[in-house]
Structure 1
Amino acid sequence: MAIDDKTRTELEAAVFRRLVEHLRGRTDVQNIELMNLAGFCRNCLSNWMKDAADAKGVGLSKDESREAVYGMPYEEWKAKYQGAATPEQLEAMKKVHPHSH
C-alpha cells in the first residue's frame, strides 16, 4: 500500500488515539500486567510522547504527557485504579523488563 507521508502520519495518529482510548477504558488492566506481557505500559506511552516532544522542541512536561495518555492527572488515575502489585508480578517484571519503573 503506497500512501503519502501526511496520510500515513494521520493514520498513525488515529491508531495512537484509539489505543489510548482503549487503555483508558480498560482500567482493570494494571500497568504492571502490561509490562509483564507486552514490555510497555501507559507510562511508557507517555514517556515516548515526552521524548517525541523534546526531540521537536515542544514544551511538554512529564505530567502533561501522562495526562494526555491517562485522560486525567496521573496521581488521580493511580488513586482510582492502580492496585498494589503482587510480589510475583514485581519479580516477573524484573525478568521481563529489568531496567523499567
Structure 2
Amino acid sequence: MPDINAQTQIELEAAAYRRLQKHLMEDRTDVQNIDMMNLAGFCRNCLSRWYQESAAERGIEMTKDEGREAFYGMTVDAWKADYQSESTPSKDAAFKVAFDENVAKKDG
C-alpha cells in the first residue's frame, strides 16, 4: 500500500463512502433494502444508522429520521414511495434472521 498521510486517507475513505452512497441511492434504486440485508447483512438503513452513530460519537445529536434523510437525501417515506416494492413472506423470514445476526446481537 502506498504511504498515505492521515488526512489523505480520510479524504479517500470519504470519497469511497460518497461513491457507495451514490451507487445505492441513484444507480441501483432497484435493489431493495431487504435483499441487501438478506445477502450482505447490511442495507441503506444500516448505513444511515452508522452515519447517525458517527455523529453522536462527535457530540452531534441526530435523530434516526435525520440520519436516514442525510443518507437517503430525502425522507425515508419518500424513498419507500418511489422505490420500495412489496416483500414476500420468505424474504421477511430471511430478514429476521439477518437482522438478528447482524444488528440485534451487535447492539445488545
Match of 2:6 in 1: 5
* 2:90 alignment counterpart: 88
Q: Which sections of structure 2, spanning at least 5 residues, go unmatched?
A: none
Q: Give the letter aligned to residue 97 of structure 1.
A: F
Distance 1:61 1:95, change over 3 A: closer
RMSD, aligned α-carbons: 1.6
What does residue 21 of structure 1 align with?
A: 22
- 1:96 deviates by 2.8
Deviations 1:5-48 (A, max 9, x none): 11100100000000000001211110000001100000000000
| Paired residues, number | 101
- What displacement does 1:91 show? 1.2
TM-score normalised to structure 2 length: 0.85
Moved more, 48-57 or 58-67: 58-67
TM-score, length basis structure 1: 0.90
Q: Percent identity?
A: 51
Further displaced range: 39-48 or 80-89: 80-89
CA–CA separation in structure 1 for the residues paired with 2:99 and 2:52: 20
CA–CA separation in structure 2 for the residues paired with 1:5 and 1:64 = 29
Q: Gaps spanning 5+ residues in structure 1: where? A: none
